[in-house]
Structure 1
Amino acid sequence: MYNFLKSVAKNIIPQKALIENEERFRRLLIPFYKGKNNECTICRTRLKNFAQLDNGNLLCPICGSLSRTRRLYKLLNDEFLQSKMFFLDFSPSRMLYKKWKKRNDIHYFPTDYENEFLSDYHYDITNINTEEEKFDLIVCYHILEHIIEDRKAMSELHRVLKTGGKALIQTPFKDGEIYEDYSITTEKGRLKHFGQEDHVRIYSVKGLESRLKETGFNVVVRTFSKDNYYGFTQNEKVLICTK
């Protein structure tokens, strides 16, 4: 149902209007999805089911959040985000951006280099234009697989993180070793080899952990279990990096 309704909306409503009024349009879906089987951790809507995308991911039809975004929101609220923190967030989802912006008890720095996401800053992750030891918390989700100079980016994350601070990092993962080939530069080639047109590698968990440790981070790999009620996936990995 969700994909059908989305297709209809795209065909009759201009894209700019869809983006500007996304929340209002999504609320119209509540009667189709309201129930008691599931709940979104972000918008708190109780649903009869999540919308399943073509790749199998479970999306909240009311706020548009993916499984990893819902888990991240819960994880930050439960364990990591505290009052008065300086919080650097790379390319946040629209819903999380709006949630954090409403909080007056944190110093929130949402950033997106290419202006594709809602943001207030435009930091180059390989050359972050701010002083050392500024941030208590950094979220870098699905960013490093886009960055050719990933070691330089990791070094910058380490530089701007306060001693004792935490950085939560996630990318797509594969078994075995990191796969990267910088001779592959076309969108078609990157889609074939790395799974997306703008990716430059696929990390393994151990490979990413090793590079982060080489940068100076202490790293703990957290593995999370499936939760049908919240639509969380099985064996989701998050690397918790401490300086």
Structure 2
Amino acid sequence: MKKAFKFVLNTIPRPLLIRLSYVVRPIMTIALKGDTYTDPIDGKGFKSFLPYGYGTQRNNVLSPSTLSLERHRLLWLYLKNETDFFTTAKKVLHFAPEQAFYKRFRALKHLDYTTTDLLSPLADVKADICNLPFKDNSFDVILCNHVLEHIPDDTKAMQELYRILKPGGMGILQIPQDLSREVTFEDDTITDKKERAKIFGQYDHVRVYGRDYFNKLRSIGFKVEEVDYTATLSNSEIEKYCLAKGEIIPVVYK
């Protein structure tokens, strides 16, 4: 199964993967039903989660029911327990909307919810993150998770995100991050897809962010909170929800 998943992830375009998942997901949800692990997004239990990864494959991380990964489940718990996202009227912009969230956020009647991306079939607005078609100070909340590592000019993208966020607004700007690295790593001379997947975690990533990511956001103008939400959870909760202990949620404000 591990080799099959890796082959599928590395050969099938993401828009097609999204469509195929609607067929495969119900089958896997039934096949892996159990009580060892729980997806907090829908509350369903499983005897195991699925493997996932482009470069190095990680075991037991992909929820069969919501297709959430560690970062999605962590973000859900943070938004649910520590913010008023699920209770207060907000104008929300969601980049590259994840399936784990898309229908659930769309169903929240108190949200004015807009999705955007260049390629995703789930996007309401097809747009370039470096040249967004939105007015200044437009959104109360911006969700932009695992997008910036794909963008060559991430400085321009961050400036656009800052521009369209309302004063007092909140953004969640998650990225794949190597916290042991002080400085972000980029190397455009590496062109082989397999080598890029090995080094950058995915063939279409243009950098590996280090701890300097937070200060780069601050240099744009954001107030940044480096939230280690797993530090507030017990080890049993981290294991039950299959979270990555120590993962930082970059929460920004304008």
Q: TM-score higher than 0.5 here?
A: yes
Matched, 1:210 2:215: yes
Other-structure match for 1:105:
110
**How many Å apart are 1:6 and its aligned residue?**
6.7
Other-structure match for 1:12:
none
The alignment's TM-score, normalised by the length of structure 2, stands at 0.81
The secondary structure found in structure 2 opposite 1:173 is coil
**Once structures 1 and 2 are overlaid, which stretch shifts more, 25-34 or 155-164?**
25-34
Q: Check the 8 A contact 1:91/1:117 in 2, yes or no.
A: no
* In 2: Cα distance, 1:188 partner to 1:4 partner: 15
**How many Å apart are 1:19 and its aligned residue?**
5.2
Q: Check the 8 A contact 1:23/1:63 in 2, yes or no.
A: no
Once the two structures are superposed, what CA deviation does each residue of 1:81-128 show, in whole Å capped at 9, x if it has no partner? 143201111112113111111122101111111x23521112211111
Which amino acid counterpart does residue 68 of structure 1 have in structure 2? R
Which amino acid counterpart does residue 94 of structure 1 have in structure 2? Q
Alignment partner for residue 76 of structure 2, among 73, 86, 90?
A: 73
Q: 1:30 to 1:5 in 2, by over 3 A?
A: farther
Tell me which of the two structures has the higher relative contact order, counting C-alpha pairs closer than 8 angstroms and 6 or more residues apart.
Answer: 2
Alignment map for 1:11-50 (pairs within 5 Å):
20=19, 22-23=21-22, 25-50=24-49
Q: Check the 8 A contact 1:136/1:161 in 2, yes or no.
A: yes
Q: Check the 8 A contact 2:78/2:229 in 1, yes or no.
A: no
Alignment partner for residue 240 of structure 2, among 221, 225, 229?
A: 229
Once the two structures are superposed, what CA deviation does each residue of 1:53-102 show, in whole Å capped at 9, x if it has no partner? 43235111122211111222222222331432011111121131111111
Alignment map for 1:83-94 (pairs within 5 Å):
83-94=88-99
Percent of pairs with identical residues:
32
**How many Å apart are 1:48 and its aligned residue?**
2.5
Matched, 1:119 2:130: no
The secondary structure found in structure 1 opposite 2:79 is helix
Which amino acid counterpart does residue 244 of structure 2 have in structure 1? T
Q: 1:19 to 1:162 in 2, by over 3 A?
A: closer
**How many Å apart are 1:191 and its aligned residue?**
3.0
Q: 1:31 to 1:214 in 2, by over 3 A?
A: closer
Other-structure match for 2:182:
176
Q: 1:23 to 1:42 in 2, by over 3 A?
A: farther
Once the two structures are superposed, what CA deviation does each residue of 1:205-228 show, in whole Å capped at 9, x if it has no partner? 2x1111111100111111232601
Q: Check the 8 A contact 2:115/2:123 in 1, yes or no.
A: yes
* In 2: Cα distance, 1:193 partner to 1:4 partner: 19
Other-structure match for 1:58:
61
Q: 1:238 to 1:18 in 2, by over 3 A?
A: closer
What runs of 5+ residues in structure 2 fail to find an aligned partner? 9-13
**How many Å apart are 1:189 and its aligned residue?**
5.3
* In 2: Cα distance, 1:68 partner to 1:141 partner: 9
The secondary structure found in structure 1 opposite 2:208 is strand
Q: 1:18 to 1:167 in 2, by over 3 A?
A: closer
Other-structure match for 1:199:
205
The alignment's TM-score, normalised by the length of structure 1, stands at 0.85
Q: Check the 8 A contact 2:138/2:166 in 1, yes or no.
A: yes
Q: Check the 8 A contact 2:72/2:100 in 1, yes or no.
A: no
Alignment map for 1:160-171 (pairs within 5 Å):
160-171=164-175
CA RMSD of aligned residues (A): 2.8
Q: 1:19 to 1:133 in 2, by over 3 A?
A: closer
**How many Å apart are 1:182 and its aligned residue?**
3.7
* In 1: Cα distance, 2:60 partner to 2:29 partner: 19
